[in-house]
A and B are shown apart, each in its own frame.
Chain A
């Protein structure tokens, strides 16, 4: 399998790319062990698509190198193309053709032969819950179905390495969870996967290793747990329904830790970082609020989320520049509506 005995399926070293004045990649490094999932996480414009395009032989890097299954993506581009599958941000399926026709044509282009291409198309349609829509033009499909068809198309030739560039961007929550389920199944079968996403929750759900990039540079890498531990310990979170008592609540818990509690004036939510003191700190919070006679709702102790990680690493939220609202943001809006009701 390839000329690479190290067990790394994808290896990226010092990768650089410029578009005129824009320094899209400023020398990034990462490796993806065979059979594992790497989440390339970053806001819009971070350089995720550029990295994927270089790895899939569509762009030539200006510096550094990238190797897929032992083949250099520039020198051995033809060999790399025989190993990879790619599904992108915009579904590249032909909308006028039916789902089955789309897959059949891809199969023919992979030289499967007419009968085999048809058989493979049916198999994939079945597997991605598209069989009932197999003979309908793809333009009648929902967004989620189109993405699944696009993903199916990338799998026609059983790729050893799969690249998914923002596979759920623009999907509604149902489409997104459907997509996650499909991706998890794929991964369980041992395909190496590089997935890019703007959604922290998505990387957390699907990836073994996460590489966080911002403005063309890697700013953090590790497992989801490792990244979370960078923010420093657990968080106690509660909501004060009565906005006039918010100040009292903050004053009551302020002495508990070194840092200031974080408050969201709009939702009345207060988060207190409590290090590794766990339930002991939780009890202390309840005692103090009780003593101050502040009524609270929704008290919880949680591990820091990747949102907290991104804020801690970059000083700005991951999705502030994103065009499409992601799940964390949606949650925020809902919370605000409830608070206003």
Chain B
């Protein structure tokens, strides 16, 4: 404690590359754990990620459901659940934008950037945490669905594939959201911006109502937009039926979003100073 020279315990030389790659993984996991811990401490976040999707299930099942007729075995609740789960994946992304915007504003990201941690860790940790959060919500929503009459009709394999597809889709939307959150840097604006494109895109799709019930000019858009493709594929996984076309097109659109927005998000992160 009485040393006069500056104590240096951190090696100033660069550690070997293998070591650094390992750290990139552990750094991301530490960041993810931190984000989940924060999430579990804020009641508003929990309400947003759990109560809101549950309310959607109940509202559509009991309020709108009676008016919506679908040619699906098991009735509207069977049709609805894949749609709600897809929407859950998309809306989980709002948290991504809001949290990142907050962290830029508070200077937390600056602090991390001044530390010798993997450059990818902040973004990766955020996305990992948000995917975990999304899976928790999906499990709860499926549970509620079972309570109100929903049943998977295509075996466990189909159910798992549906959840995986929803998660991949959610991750892609989180990447878009990470980019907008880092670019906008203002919590409220990031949230408002998320709503502006997510709401029309999820509602003008096959998520809640069959597309044939929409006016014909809207059908052209609704039928071909990625959320419809993804939800159709999820529905086929959950209920059975031909899956190939919808699956390939939705995987392609997820890959397209990731290829385009992940680099944009990384660039926006680098430019947060």
Residues on A close to B: CB < 8 A? Answer: 1-2, 9, 34-35, 53, 56-59, 69, 71, 78-79, 81-84, 86, 88-90, 92, 94, 96-97, 101, 105-106, 108-111, 137, 153, 157-161, 189-192
Contacts and interface: CB of A to CB of B under 8 A. Distances in A.
Given A57-B113, A97-B34, 15 more contacts: A2-B12, A53-B273, A58-B113, A71-B12, A82-B10, A82-B116, A86-B111, A88-B107, A97-B37, A109-B27, A111-B23, A137-B41, A158-B7, A158-B9, A192-B6
**Chain A CB within 10 A, most for which of B5, B9, B11, B114:** B114
A161 B27 CA distance: 23
A196 to B, nearest CB: 15
Contact of A94 (B27, B38, B116, B273): B38
B41 A1 contact: no
B147 interface: no
B192 interface: no
Interface residues of B, number: 38
A110 B10 contact: yes
Given A58-B110, A59-B273, A157-B10, A189 B116 contact: no
Contacts of A84: 114
Contacts of A57: 113-114
Contacts of B67: none
A92 B30 contact: no
Contacts of A90: 106-107
A110 B116 contact: yes
Contacts of A82: 10-12, 116
Nearest to B105: A90
A88 B113 CA distance: 13
Contact of A105 (B12, B30, B114): B30
Nearest to B3: A190
Contacts of B13: 79
Interface of B: 1-14, 23, 26-27, 30-31, 33-34, 37-38, 41-42, 106-108, 110-117, 121, 273
Task: In the A-B complex, list the 6 residue pairs whose CB atoms are closest, starting with the nearest.
Answer: A96-B41, A92-B111, A160-B6, A81-B116, A108-B30, A158-B9
Contacts of A101: 37
A33 to B, nearest CB: 11
A293 B6 CA distance: 60
A153 B110 CA distance: 14
A190 B23 contact: no
A92 B106 contact: yes
A216 B90 CA distance: 46
12 contacts: A59-B273, A71-B12, A88-B110, A90-B106, A94-B108, A96-B37, A97-B37, A109-B31, A111-B23, A157-B9, A190-B3, A190-B7
B107 A92 contact: yes
Nearest to B37: A97
Nearest to B33: A105
B30 A109 contact: yes
Nearest to A69: B12
Contacts of A157: 9-10
A59 B3 CA distance: 33
B27 A92 contact: no
B38 A96 contact: yes
B14 A81 contact: no
A157 B9 CA distance: 7
B8 A158 contact: yes
A56 B3 CA distance: 25
Contacts of B34: 94, 97, 105
Contact of B5 (A35, A58, A161): A35
**Chain A CB within 10 A, most for which of B34, B121, B273:** B34
Contacts of A86: 111, 114
A111 B9 CA distance: 12
Contacts of B9: 157-158
